[in-house]
Amino acid sequence: MHKIGPDLESLRSIFDLDGRRAIVIGAGGGIGSSVAHGLAAFGAEVVCADLDHASAEKTAQQIEEMRGIARAVPIDVTSRDSVSSVFKELDSIDIVVLTAATNVRKRLLDMTLEEFRRVESLNLEGTFLVLRECGAKMAKQGRGSIVVFSSIRAQVVEPGQGVYAATKAGVLQLVRTLAAELGPEGVRVNAIAPGVVETALTAPIKADSDWYDAYAQKSVLRRWAQPEELVGATIFLASDASSYVTGSFLTVDGGWLAADGRFTPKL
């Protein structure tokens, strides 16, 4: 951990990630790709991991073209063997960021068991597998920062989001539990809760102009987020700037959870 002194340079250093190795799971696109670029910009060596290895390689190549240090590895977070293999191959790891997720937007009464399991397997079970592997490695090291992407859906729901919301609430509780269990070992574990972000996961919403506009108006900023707007929160939680932050639920939602309802009364 960087020691904070009275001078400006020591204060700036708390965001410095030089000499640290990060793995971003879901780095092939969207938020994960933006986060991978951000970590590299602050000096981290970045392992770009994704089920789509070609996309992960593209992110790593882009980072290297910007004079960062990166490489790509394939990972399937629904596979215990795949997750275990990736973390065993890394001799040390300082930062883990997990952004991978999926969704099936259906009312609960219309959801098939196969669809339920598909969402649960990636979002919740996959998070458990990653947390178990990286948590064990970091506990042995006596250091580390784990950042898992949950969602505002861990707190609020709407029709068609039930299973996704349940998994994201579960993710939050896994994060809090591991934070409690590994705090004495020097490992911090935190969750980021995005609001609506323009990614491939939300493309069906963007394609419906009424739906897209309604979401934009629900945010007090009256717009959607871009993937790069999640980078700052991730750097904060990954770095020594948040050395006393663990078990937290950091919302990056444009004020979605802060405002009550979608009606502004005349005052």
Cross-sheet strand order for the sheet of 45-50: 69-74, 45-50, 21-25, 95-98, 144-149, 187-194, 249-252
Q: Are 33 and 101 in contact (CB under 8 A)?
A: no
Is residue 164 annotated as part of the catalytic site, yes or no?
yes
- 121-128: list long-range contacts, CB under 8 Å, 24+ apart: 121/78, 122/77, 122/78, 123/164, 123/167, 123/168, 123/170, 123/171, 124/167, 124/170, 124/171, 124/174, 125/78, 126/77, 126/78, 126/83, 126/100, 127/77, 127/98, 127/170, 127/171, 127/174, 128/174
> How many CB atoms within 10 Å of residue 142?
10
The label of the residue with tokens 């419906």 reads: 208
How far is 66 from 37, CA to CA, in rounded Å?
9
How far is 220 from 144, CA to CA, in rounded Å?
34
Indicate which residues carry an active-site annotation. 164
